[in-house]
Amino acid sequence: MDQPARETARTVFDFSAELLDGRTIALDQFHGRVLLIVNTASACGFTPQYAGLEALHRRYCDRGFAVLGFPSNQFGRQEPGTAAQIGAFCRESYGVSFPLFAKIEVNGARAHPLYRFLKGEKRGAIGLLSRGRIAWNFTKFLTRRSGRVAARFSPATPPASLAGAIEDLLREPRPEA
């Protein structure tokens, strides 16, 4: 499926991405859900956040919430594994049940179109390293049920601290199909 140009994309549901198993899915299958989109890595100081992400996913999935994990090897080469290794690590170490996607780039000319869109919607903190870029693994984007980006959180933000923001968004009405 062709990725839309930044100018034509209006929500995260306008994109598709490849899962760890190689299947490409349209993100519009998550239409009406609140999403937490996170760039992940298996060998990072923030890797234990997988447990918190999984806890959020399980706590709210029945209410219309999902975590989407996008492994990236762009920061300190902290995601060197194959798709099979990433999947096994996440399942065995953290019991991850939320969707994990194929390894992507989140910055630069080869950044996945979804991440170009996310960064354009929420540029992040102003600082020497950021300027809209993803600064490190486990940057988090929270989206409304409509697919619009509601907030961006730093890698240091613990997943559990997002519960209130998630609950607020889950109270919003579901958009019409």
Write the pLDDT tens digit of every residue in 16-74: 999 999 999 999 999 999 999 999 999 999 999 999 999 999 999 999 999 999 999 99
3-state secondary structure of 169: helix
Question: For the chain, what are the domain ranges?
Answer: 12-170
Catalytic option among 17, 36, 44, 56 = 44
Is 61 noted as a catalytic residue in this protein?
Answer: no
3-state secondary structure of 30: helix
> For residue 58, which phi and psi values (nearest 5 degrees)?
-70, -40
**pTM of the full predicted structure?**
0.91
CATH superfamily of the 12-170 domain: Glutaredoxin (3.40.30.10)
In the numeric block, which tokens belong to residue 29?
């299958």
- Which residues, 6 or more positions from 38, have their beta carbon under 8 angstroms from its beta carbon? 49, 53, 67, 68, 69, 70, 138, 139, 140, 141
DSSP state of 82: -
Return the minimum-mean-pLDDT range out of 77-81, 102-106, 129-133, 159-163.
129-133
Q: Tell me how long the chain is.
A: 177
Residue in this structure with the two tokens 């062709």, named with its chain if needed: 2
Write the pLDDT tens digit of every residue in 122-154: 876 654 445 678 989 999 999 999 999 999 999
